[in-house]
Structure 1
Amino acid sequence: MYNATTRRASGRLGLAVAGLTIGGLALAGCSGGGADPATEKTEIRFLYATGDETWNSVVDSLVETFNEQSETTTVALDPLPAGTDYPTALKTVDATGSWPAIVDMRDTLTYASAGKLAPIPTEVTDLLEPSAFAAAEDGNVYTVPYSALNGELGLNIIYNRDYFEDHDLEVPETYDDFIALLDAIKANGDVPLATAAAEIWPSDQLWKPLAAPTFAKYSNDGGFWNVAAEGGASMEDLREPLERLQNIMDNYVLEGWQSTADAQTTTLLVNGQAVMATSSAGIGRLMDIQKVDPDFNAGLFIIPDDDGKINVLKNSVVGDTAGGLAISSQAAADKKEYASAVEFLKYFYSVDAANLMEEKGWISPNILASDEVKRNTEIPGAEDYFALLDNPNLVWYENSPTMTTFSAFGTFFRQARVEMQDGQTTLDQMIAKTQAEFDAQVAAAG
């Protein structure tokens, strides 16, 4: 999500806080007092990226419920900044040599290759649908999903359904329809769209759906970024979606987006300051809206392409871009910590845990016993989300970069887009400097 000078400052602050958090928890883990060894529980840490209110409440509830029922284990939460700060925080964790037992992973293959992660045992993976995980080249499974594998279906537009009905507006079926919708709302004297950039990662929420048709063209060839790394594509190929992004930002977005936090878009939508808002939280954002205003009639859609296709990223479950929960090799070296980590993951993929997630507004992971899970369809707008999964125009595509330095480029690319949107650089300058940075990162990756 967010903005230039503020981003750099907050990144340094987030890193400093991460260091303090890691150190503090490490010291706390050493304290045991005079507890009876026969009854003392093993404490393990769960390092995760904080997110929207829904995800944070899901993690809190899962851990609290698990701790109450486990006779052997206590899980201590180790939250770190989300978005672009999180991969940096993981590097700090690695540098300190203080790895938690359970880790919400980024740059998975990089850390697995470095021996930082332990294989996930079959007693955990046997609880999941076979398509929900995959082995790395060495035959081991290193991550298991923390949510349903619905790709980036959560990157969508949340809208005021009552406003649409009152003004005879409809969900767009093509990109031209989307622009016409923006024009119609603006002609009514209202602001069509709220978005955020107080941090740089929410800038993906509008960009990715606009770029999806271009990225999808390279899906069968290894993905856009891998083709670009081999010289078969370039930043110039992204000119059209970047032009569309700039047009929307210049003409239809609520002013003040540069300093707006992602969570604030809920308030802007509910208060009528904008008719629509970007989101990456999926049903979680709908749950947030319901908490703020239970009577707000929300809906959601994904921006379609010129031909009406809904292109949604669904990366491989293996690879550096694949997220998921992992067990650190440091924890695996301790039999008690490893057993506790496995115990927690087995609970995480239980029906009870899945039902708790769904109740809180989270889409639970793809477990084998999914037919026993009670889906939460009471949230206004949730039916739109589930309908997208069955939409005949839905097109899944892959775009999994294998470059080990891609996370650094990803941060640079987001920042460069925000600077372009803000008028600090031109589109041509943005393309030129991101191409130069990409080439440098490709060279650095070898």
Structure 2
Amino acid sequence: MAKKKLICGLTALLLAGCGLTGLMGCGKQETAAGKTEIEIVSYKKEAVDTFNEIAEKFNETHDDIHLTIDSPNEAMTILKTRFIREDYPDIVVIGGDMDYSNFLDSDLFADISDLDVLSETKSSYLDMDKQLEFIPQEGTYALPYVANAAGILYNKDLFEEHGWKVPQTWSEFMALCEQIQSAGVQPLYFGFKDTWTCLAPWNALAVGLADPQLCSEVNNGTTTFTKGYDETAEKIKALLGYGEANPTAYSYNDACTAFARGQSAMYTIGSYAIPQIKSVNPDMNIGTFTFPANEDEADNVLNSGIDVQFCVMKACKNKEAAYEVLRFLYEDDTIRTYLDEQGGIACKQGDFPLSSELEGVRSYIESDRMADFQDHHYPSEMSVDAMIQTYLLDDSADTKKTFLNKFDKDWKRYNRDLIWKVQQYNEKEGTSEDTK
């Protein structure tokens, strides 16, 4: 059944964008003598050495199970091809995004509700996975592992030199931008030439201003993006007066370089940009604060999403062996190995290392005050990043209305089948509502 459901959603994508050259021979490794073989396929190519190290430690300490972790190039394309062939690994490493939603909707993942270490996961990240379900599912289908965070990076030395304080509210943030500008320093840098960077401030604002389940509510017909994103659209536009004069003339690399060289006091980007910034200025003293989107600090939320999580395939024939692997991966020492080498935020409860650059958002992490990136719910075909960029460049009087109307119109266009499926589910469950 899984294959039949998946072919409709994946075959066209594969034929349109990728050939199958080099995908042969991707099947499971031969079972090690006398051991149960567990194969993990990971999409995190940059973490290949770390996962190899972890697999080696597992194999040294387990006599009955042999673990192989593959981190191939074009991992998602390879996975989709293998799924169509029903050549499944035992576990996949995937992010908390639309790929996870699509695979779950295709009935590929096993319910791991009976996995004991799930109880040690921060509730925010379990909630994020539930919010990624197209149709509400009974059970749990992923073990969140490591997350990232996005807000505002700032130059701590500049702040200390001028006596600037980290803002807690939107009004304080706007006043700070004015104060920085009055001191002859540019407050913000954007780098909107690369359209995806437009999503950084958008997501960081939206988590504090919009319902985390907004996309699902729109699919349910209970609200619209025109209503849900009105304040987010208003405030992201207000940022433009404090950045570079022509933000779409500068790329992500340009923005990282400019911020590293002290050309702005703040940068509206996520923690993932820190390595790039430090490649230009290794000694830069960088801090992070949660985007103060609201007038009450208590309403602010850290934008954090799942970067790495483990899903057991429904076709896995050795579920207990797979669980033993997941328990090892969830041991504190194993998580620390990953964090020490790859960075990020542990999705497991407990005292785990946090990079110095993220100390400013520690309280949000420890109090589980976090929400997922809104764009993890957007179909790539909709190109929301380009829509936001166009909106930011539009100076016409009705630009916000035009942008939000297009958001609603395009959402229906690119999610037609999903919306129909949700409507059918609601009718069956007796929960269908008209748009308010």
Distance in 2, matches of 1:374 and 1:240, equals 35
- When residues 388 and 441 of structure 1 are mapped into structure 2, their CA distance, relative to the original with a 3 A threshold, is same
Checking the alignment, whether the CA contact within 8 Å between 2:205 and 2:291 is kept in structure 1 is yes
Partner amino acid for 1:173?
Q
In structure 2, which of residues 400, 404, 408 is the aligned counterpart of residue 427 of structure 1? 400
Q: Which residue of structure 2 aligns with residue 161 of structure 1?
A: 156
Alignment counterpart, residue 102 of structure 1, candidates 87, 91, 99: 91
**Matching of residue 74 in structure 1 with residue 74 in structure 2:** no
Shift of 1:429: 2.7
Q: Is the 8 A contact 2:153 2:266 kept in 1?
A: yes
Counterpart-to-counterpart distance in 2, 1:266 and 1:375: 25
Structure 2 match to 1:252? 243
Deviation for aligned residue 1:395: 6.0
Residue equivalent to 1:300: 288
Cα gap change, 1:25 to 1:353, in 2 (>3 Å): farther
State the one-letter code of the partner of 2:120: L
State the alpha-carbon separation in 2 of the partners of residues 255 and 92 from structure 1.
Answer: 42
Give the partner amino acid of 1:66: A
Q: Tell me whether 1:381 sits opposite 2:357 in the alignment.
A: yes
CA distance in 2, matches of 1:23, 1:340: 32
In the other structure, the counterpart of 1:408 is: 379
SS at the partner of 1:193? coil
TM-score in terms of structure 2 length: 0.71
Q: Does 1:224 align with 2:214?
A: yes
* SS of residue paired to 1:171: coil
Structure 1 residue 157: deviation in Å? Answer: 0.4
Preserved CA contact (<8 Å) 2:39 2:70: yes
What does 1:384-395 correspond to in 2, within 5 Å? 384-389=360-365
Task: Pick from 89, 92, 107 the counterpart of residue 115 of structure 1.
Answer: 107
What's 1:147 paired with?
146
Q: Deviations over 1:365-389 (max 9, x none)?
A: 315xx3xx5524xx43332121344
- Tell me the C-alpha RMSD between the 2 structures: 4.3
Alignment of structure 1 residues 348-367 onto 2, 5 Å:
348-360=329-341, 361-366=343-348
- State the AA in 2 paired with 1:308: D
CA distance in 1, matches of 2:201, 2:290: 10
Answer whether contact 1:354 1:364 (CA < 8 A) is retained: yes
Instruction: Spell out the pairing of 1:8-27 with structure 2 (5 A cutoff).
Output: 19=18, 24=22, 26-27=24-25
Give ranges in structure 1 of 5+ residues lacking alignment.
1-13, 51-55
What is the distance in 2 between the residues matched to 1:257 and 1:128? 43
Residues 289-340 of structure 1: CA deviation (Å, up to 9, x unaligned): 556544322111122134232522689x9xxx9983212234x14x4xx676
Match in the other structure for 1:3:
none
Paired residue secondary structure (2:233): helix
Separation (CA, whole Å) in 2 of partners of 1:168 and 1:349: 42
1:241 and 2:232 matched:
yes
Could you tell me how far apart the structure 2 residues matched to 1:170 and 1:407 are? 35
Residues 339, 430 of structure 1: CA spacing in aligned structure 2 closer, same or farther, 3 A cutoff?
Answer: same
Is the 8 Å Cα contact of residues 206 and 232 (structure 2) preserved in structure 1? yes
Identity value in percent = 19
41 and 143 in structure 1: CA distance in 2 versus 1, 3 angstrom threshold = closer
